[in-house]
C-alpha cells in the first residue's frame, strides 16, 4: 500500500477513535471535575511523549530542527493571540454562551491540525514510526474528546452530537497529515524543519491548552503523576518500536 494511503487511513482512524471519548459520559449528564483534569493530563502526557519522540529522530539536522521548534512554539502563540483564545479556559462546564462554544471548537480544530503535522512528518521517517505516532495520537484524542464532550453535555448537547463534534474537530488531523506527508516526501530536505516544527507545536499545546486548568481540577500531585506516567510510557514504547 502506498504510504500516502497509509497516512490517510491511519490519521482517519485516529480522528474516528476520538468518538470513544464520550464513553465516560454514557448514562450521566456530568462527570466529576477531577475526571476532566485527569483526561487532560493523560492527553497532555502522551502529547509530550510524542513531542519527545519527534525531537529525537535519528539523523535529524540540529540547526533546522531547533529553528523549526522555535517557529512551532511561536506559531501556536500567534494563533492563540490572533484568534483571541490565548487565555481561554477550555473546559468551563455549564458555560452556555454560543461564542464560547465556537472559540473552543476553533481551538480544537487548530490543535488537531498541529497533530496532523506530527503524523505526516512521522510517516516520512518510516512506517513503524508513522504508525506509532498515529496510534499515540488516536489514544490521546480519546481523553481530549471526553473533555470536549463533558463541556457539551453540560450545555445539554446529546451524546451522539458530542461524539460527532469530537470526530469533526479531529478531521483537520487527516488533511494536514496527508498534506505534510506529500510535501515532506516531495522535498526530503524539509524533514528536520518539519519534525522540529511539530515538536515545538505539540510541547507548547500541552502547556498552554491541556495542563493549566487540570491542576485546579484534580490537584497538583495527581496531575503530575498521570502526565508523567503517560509521557514515560510513550517514551519507553518509542524506544521499543524504534
Ligand atoms: Zn491533542
Number of domains in the chain: 1
Domain ranges, residue 26 = 3-241
CA separation for the pair 205, 41 (Å, rounded): 12
CA 58 – ligand 1 centroid, Å: 24
pLDDT over threshold 80, residue 130: yes
pLDDT over threshold 80, residue 90: no
What was the pLDDT predicted at 31? 85
Band (pLDDT 50/70/90 cuts) for residue 60 is confident
HEC letters along the chain: CCHHHHHHHHHHHHHHHHHHHHHHHCCCCCCCHHHHHHHHHHHHHHHHHHHHHHHCCCCCCHHHHHHHHHHHHHHHHHHHHHCCCCCCCCCCCCCCCHHHHHHHHHHHHHHHHHHHHHHHHHHHHCHHHHHHHHHHHHHHHHHHHHHHHHHHHCCCCCHHHHHHHHHHHHHHHHHHHHHHHHHHHHCHHHHHHHHHHHHHHHHHHHHHHHCCCHHHHHCHHHHHHHHHHHHHHHHHHHHHHC
CA 98 – ligand 1 centroid, Å: 23
What was the pLDDT predicted at 75? 94
CA atoms within 13 A on the CB side of 3: 22
Per-chain residues with Cβ under 5 A from ion ligand 1:
144
CA separation for the pair 95, 121 (Å, rounded): 37
* CB of 103 closer than 8 Å to CB of 209: no
Query: How does pLDDT run across 165-212, given as a tens digit for each residue?
Result: 999 999 999 999 999 999 999 999 999 999 999 999 999 999 998 999
CA 118 – ligand 1 centroid, Å: 11
Which of 14-23, 147-156, 191-200 is predicted with the least confidence, judged by mean pLDDT?
A: 147-156
Band (pLDDT 50/70/90 cuts) for residue 59 is confident
What was the pLDDT predicted at 67? 95
What are phi and psi for residue 88, nearest 5 degrees?
A: -75, 125
Average of per-residue pLDDT across 87-99: 69
pTM above 0.85, yes or no: yes
Cα 1 off chain centre by: 26
CA 144 – ligand 1 centroid, Å: 6
Band (pLDDT 50/70/90 cuts) for residue 94 is low
Instruction: Tell me which residue has cell 491540525.
Output: 113
Amino acid at each position: 500500500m502506498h504510504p500516502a494511503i497509509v497516512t490517510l487511513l491511519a490519521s482517519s482512524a485516529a480522528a474516528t477513535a476520538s468518538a470513544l471519548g464520550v464513553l465516560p459520559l454514557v448514562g450521566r449528564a456530568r462527570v466529576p471535575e477531577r475526571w476532566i483534569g485527569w483526561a487532560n493530563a493523560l492527553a497532555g502526557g502522551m502529547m509530550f511523549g510524542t513531542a519527545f519522540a519527534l525531537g529525537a529522530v535519528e539523523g535529524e539536522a540540529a540547526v533546522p530542527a531547533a529553528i523549526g521548534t522555535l517557529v512551532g512554539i511561536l506559531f501556536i502563540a500567534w494563533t492563540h493571540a490572533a484568534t483571541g483564545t490565548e487565555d481561554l479556559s477550555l473546559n468551563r462546564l455549564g458555560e452556555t454562551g454560543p461564542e464560547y462554544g465556537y472559540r473552543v471548537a476553533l481551538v480544537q480544530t487548530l490543535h488537531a491540525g498541529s497533530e496532523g503535522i506530527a503524523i505526516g512528518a512521522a510517516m516520512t521517517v518510516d512506517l513503524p514510526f508513522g504508525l506509532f505516532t498515529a496510534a499515540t495520537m488516536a489514544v490521546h484524542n480519546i481523553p481530549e474528546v471526553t473533555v470536549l464532550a463533558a463541556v457539551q453535555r453540560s450545555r445539554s448537547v446529546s451524546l451522539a452530537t458530542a461524539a460527532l463534534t469530537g470526530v469533526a474537530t479531529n478531521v483537520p488531523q487527516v488533511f494536514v497529515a496527508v498534506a505534510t506527508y506529500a510535501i515532506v516526501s516531495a522535498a526530503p530536505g524539509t524533514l528536520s524543519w518539519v519534525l522540529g516544527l511539530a515538536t515545538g507545536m505539540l510541547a507548547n499545546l500541552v502547556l498552554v491548552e491541556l495542563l493549566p486548568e487540570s491542576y485546579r481540577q484534580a490537584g497538583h500531585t495527581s496531575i503530575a503523576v498521570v502526565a508523567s506516567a503517560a509521557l514515560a510510557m510513550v517514551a519507553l514504547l518509542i524506544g521499543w518500536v524504534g
